[in-house]
Amino acid sequence: MGWKEDLQQASFRGVKFDCVSTNNSISKALAVQQAPYSNDAKIEDMGNDAERISMRIFLSGTDYLIYLDALKAAFAMAGEGELIHPIDGIKSVHVQNWNIVHGTETVDGCDIDVDFLVAKAERKTLFIPRSLPPELKYTHVILTPAAAFQSELEKLKKLDPNKFFKIINRIRNGLQKARRFLNTVRAKIDNFLSPPAWAVGLVDDVISLATFEFNDISAISKWRSMFDRVKRVSKIFEDDDDQLDSPAFKQLWRAVSLASNAAIVQTIVKQTRSNLSKNQTQQESTFVMTPSDLAVIRKQVRKDIQAAINAEREITQEQAKQSNIDPALQVAQYKTLANDVHEQIQALIETRPPIRNTPVLLPCTAHWLAHQLYGDISRAEEIKHLNPTVVNFAVLRSGMELITYAR
């Protein structure tokens, strides 16, 4: 999902404008100590300088001078001001300088180059927030297309019984194949005449398989296995005999596949959040998914959601009217789901300090390294969890780089 999907109306102190380009830059504050005639320097990291935002603003129209005067007044005001960045959103900034350019090519308009300094850096919490985003609601992406497909089946039953029974048989065979891929057995008989029932039931089967043990280093491998199985399920009806598959059914099946992936994410969120709470109580450090693992999951799920959005946008108005579906509504629901997935996983990532690469200076064990870094040998399990590719944690050689949490 690129920045063009989430652009916001740029403004400063309430004055709206069109932004041609933005450039965000951050530099490090480094204290350099060096002896005379020496090529070696001792460098101390003093943190980051204030973030600098450079913007190219374009004003046009017969009334552009009104907006130009308003912006000049806003720039001249002292103190902090609220900037709505078109990509990053709300920022509290100071105006450093601005430059107004008029040219012969644009009679009713001008360009403004302005530099802002961000007043306050956003502080990230290093503990579990008291209020996390609500749970993922993935069933809403199923119910609307399921209702449309059910209505289509009811009409088809009256108009063309032969085609109706062919479609029902195709759905039955597809669901049976899906459960073979998932290796599940349905306790109840599916009601093929009720798409909402069997669609939600299939997602429930996926949830029952999504288990990620607390002390399992290969939790990300389990997710990949589940993701691959759901991927195979999503391709069940992609064959040469797809003449029976209407746009309504294809829309529903896309929704079922995405809801299944979102259900897996919700399971990961619940279990990881629960384990994090236990860790705080028991002063332990290991948990199911590392921040890197969570970022991989988020990227893949949002990629699939974007693919589904692209498929919805390819539906023509004629197809939508014929099948009584609303692609625009489905796209809006997918965007909401993508945002919820992002917020859920981001909240988990921010419950721990940032990860970094730590060099091993002397041959040691994981327990000795945990004691050196944190003063707590029990966090050796955390180091093992973050570095699953290391073969022997009893022999860590000097020069190795391990992934660890910041102190």
Q: What is the C-alpha to C-alpha distance for residues 258 and 278, in angstroms, rounded to an integer? A: 30
Q: Give the H/E segment covering residue 405.
A: strand 401-405
Rg of the chain, C-alpha, whole Å = 28
Interval 53-62: pLDDT, tens = 999 998 888 8
What pLDDT score was predicted for residue 116?
92
Band (pLDDT 50/70/90 cuts) for residue 113 is: very high
Contacts of 181 (CB under 8 A, 6+ apart): 229, 232, 233, 236
Angle (CA) 49-50-51 rounded to 5° is: 115
d(CA 247, CA 347): 36
Give 34's strand partners.
41
State what percent of residues in the chain have pLDDT above 70.
Answer: 84
pLDDT in tens, 219-249: 677 788 888 888 888 888 776 556 667 888 8
* Statement: the pTM of the whole predicted model exceeds 0.85: no
Encode pLDDT of 349-390 as tens digits.
Answer: 777 666 778 888 888 888 888 888 888 787 787 788 778 778
Report the chain's mean pLDDT, rounded to a whole number: 79
User: What pLDDT score was predicted for residue 56?
Assistant: 92
d(CA 405, CA 400): 16
Return the percent helix, strand and coil in the chain, to nearest 5. 50, 20, 35
Task: Tell me the pLDDT band of 150, cut-offs 50, 70 and 90.
Answer: confident
pLDDT band at residue 67 under the 50/70/90 scheme: confident
Average pLDDT over residues 60-77: 88
pLDDT on residue 348: 77
What is the SS3 assignment for 82?
strand
Looking at the predicted structure, is the pLDDT value of residue 261 above 60?
A: yes
Give the range with max mean pLDDT: 38-42, 227-231, 302-306, 391-395. 302-306
Mean pLDDT, range 140-156, rounded to an integer: 85
Q: Rounded distance, CA 189 to CA 339, Å?
A: 35
Q: Give the pLDDT confidence score for residue 134 in this predicted structure.
A: 62
Look at residue 131 in the predicted model and tell me its pLDDT: 52
State the pLDDT confidence band at 195, using cuts at 50, 70 and 90.
Answer: confident
Helix (H, G, I), strand (E, B) or coil at 384: helix
DSSP-derived 3-state class of residue 58 = strand
pLDDT score of 280 more than 50: no
pLDDT score recorded for residue 114? 93
Is residue 202 pLDDT above 90, yes or no? Answer: no
Mean pLDDT, residues 297-319 taken together: 88
Mean pLDDT of 93-111: 88
pLDDT in the model for residue 126: 41
